[in-house]
Structure 1
Amino acid sequence: MPLAITATLRFTAPQRVDCLLQCEAAATGEQRILSGVTTLPAAVPITRVAAQDGVGERFWISPEGDCRITYEAEVEVVRQAVDFAALAQVGKPDLPGEVTQYLFDSRYCAAESFQPFVDSEFPGLAGGARVAAMRDWIAQHFSYVPGISGAHTSARDSFVERRGVCRDYAHVLVAFARAAGIPARYASCYAPDVTPQDFHAIAEVFLADDAGGRWVPVDATGMADPQATALIGVGRDAADVSFLTSFGFVRFDGHKVSVER
């Protein structure tokens, strides 16, 4: 599935400040970057670094004044459809070392506190079947309400409110899965059917396959088709995959995202 992607970020730095950005689609075995150009002010140099788990790249900039960044790309998604509900859970001692971190609590996903709820709400299920039940529960009990949550909203906050945006849905699903002993991570992505159009967030869960295990995308909002979703990056939660992190004050002036088949 080829996707045409355009994303624009605008912000102002009153004085020079270090910023870390992650807004480019990642080159992976499940998606090919046919073309990609990131445009910045001419005086702003870029220093590229590998992103979390080696999925995609981040880049450092140190702007001052008005800054406009535009990313334009064509990405071909070649991800195969998978019935993740039929996949088994990987035994904890059999998990790859780099996956084990995704069993633990993180800044926005206090998974341990959800264990009693997960045990009582999803009994008798394991692996992908349990994840599917969790996804369906969130879809049924949450309302998608833009503007109701913010940068400090945690999975626990969203669980209480029962409303939010993709970021909140993903955090709750990640926390539920970890509470069930299933590794889960947060993923940022581009998808054409997201309404309103924006950077999107989903969960990825690590489940068994013939090779021992694989990361499987799961979207509790139901808006992102895995075969038409371009991954940007992954992390423990939103703090690891922010499209813009400033190490000092900046005034964010807005952004616009367009994703088309």
Structure 2
Amino acid sequence: MKLAIDVDMNYALEGGDPALLAITVAQTEGQTVLSSVLEIENATLRWIDGEGNVGQRVWVHSEGGQLNLRYRAQVDVRKSNVALPSLAATPLYALSGEVLTYLRPSRLCPSDLLQTFADERFGHLDGGEKIAAILDWTAASLVYVPGSSCANTTAFDTFITREGVCRDYAHLVCGLARAGNIPARYATGYSANVDPPDFHAVAEVWLDGAWHLVDATGMSSACDLAIIGSGRDAGDIPFMQTEKWATLIHQRIYVSAEHPT
């Protein structure tokens, strides 16, 4: 599926504070970037690798304390949706050091605090069947409430309040998967099905020797989401990071899909 992405962002930055952006789609397995153009007014850019070498991030030094940008891209997403129950878990001793990182608790995914519940609720299941059950439980148990969480909300917080947005759904899925000994990482991207249109967060789980995208919100799937980057949790890959306060003036994200004929 081909996606056309168009992003406008306008922020006021305090004291000429540089911003680290993670908004460009990644040239990575399962998707091909056909075009990618980032235009930022009166700014100096420095590109760096994304977390885990997935995608890129860019340091932006804007003049005058204003960040005005437009990002446009076309991406061919070639990933397929898979039947989760058919996927087996990889034995822990066979995991690489890189994948093993995503089995451990992180600041926003304290999976150790979810261990008891995960054992009681999903302990009788294995592999993809366990992940499918975690997704079903998360979708049924949480209420999607914009503005109900903040940048410091953890997966355990969401487990208690039972509400959140896409980042909270993804954090909780990652936390429950890790508590069930299945590596999981947090990923960001673009999908035409996200409502309201915005940057989107999902989880990726390691099954049958590969990463598989899962979304408990139901707003995206592997075949229609273009990945920006991935990490242990949202703290690794915020779409914008500044040292001082940034004030939103305007932000618009538009994603359209060209379905194959």
Is 1:253 the counterpart of 2:257? The answer is: no
- Residue identity opposite 1:229 in structure 2: L
Tell me which amino acid in the other structure corresponds to 1:86: S
Residue 242 of structure 1 corresponds to 238
- Please give the alpha-carbon distance, in whole angstroms, between the structure 2 residues aligned to 1:164 and 1:253: 24
Give the TM-score normalised by structure 2: 0.95
* Superposition pairs of residues 96-111 of structure 1, within 5 angstroms: 96-111=96-111
Structure 1 Cα separation of the partners of residues 222 and 12 of structure 2: 35
Aligned to 2:159: 159
Once the two structures are superposed, the pairs formed by residues 200-219 of structure 1 within 5 Å of their partners are: 200-208=200-208, 213-219=209-215
Three-state SS of the structure 2 residue aligned to 1:168 is helix
Q: Does the residue aligned with 1:255 lie in a helix, a strand or coil?
A: strand
2:57 maps to 58
Report the Cα offset of residue 15 of structure 1: 1.5
Number of residue-to-residue matches in the alignment: 256
User: TM-score, normalized by length of structure 1?
Assistant: 0.95
Q: How does 1:1-261 map to 2 (within 5 A)?
A: 1-41=1-41, 43-63=42-62, 64-208=64-208, 213-261=209-257
User: Secondary structure of the equivalent of 1:159?
Assistant: helix
For residues 142-180 of structure 1, give each alpha carbon's deviation from its aligned partner in whole angstroms, at most 9, with x where no partner exists.
111111111111111111111111000000000000001
What is the deviation of 1:250?
2.4
Q: Distance in 2 between matches of 1:242 and 1:224?
A: 19
Q: CA deviation at 1:45?
A: 1.1
Write the deviation string for residues 112-160 of structure 1: whole angstroms up to 9, x where unpaired: 1111101111132011110110000000111111111111111111111
Q: For the aligned residues, what is the CA RMSD? A: 1.1
Amino acid at match of 2:45: I
Structure 1 runs (4+) greater than 3 angstroms displaced: none
Q: Following TM superposition, by how much is the alpha carbon of 1:93 offset from its aligned partner in structure 2, in angstroms?
A: 1.1
Matching residue's letter, 2:76 = E
Q: Displacement of 1:17 after TM fit?
A: 1.4
CA offset at residue 257 of structure 1?
A: 0.9
Unpaired runs of at least 5, structure 2? none
Q: 1: CA distance between counterparts of 2:115 and 2:245?
A: 38
The alpha carbon displacement at 1:61 in A equals: 1.2
Identity %: 40
Which deviations, in whole Å up to 9, do the C-alpha atoms of 1:182-224 show, x marking residues without a partner?
A: 110000010111111110000000111xxxx100000000110
Following superposition, the deviation at residue 103 of structure 1 comes to 0.8
> Matched residue of 1:109: which SS?
coil
For residue 189 of structure 2, give the secondary structure of its aligned residue in structure 1. Answer: strand
Distance 2:165 2:178 in 1: 20
Contact 2:122 2:180 in 1 (8 A): no
| Structure 1 counterpart SS, 2:249 | strand
Q: How many Å separate the matches in 2 of 1:106 and 1:178? A: 10
SS at match of 2:43: coil
8 Å contact 2:45–2:58 — kept in the other structure?
A: yes
The amino acid that maps onto 1:182 is I
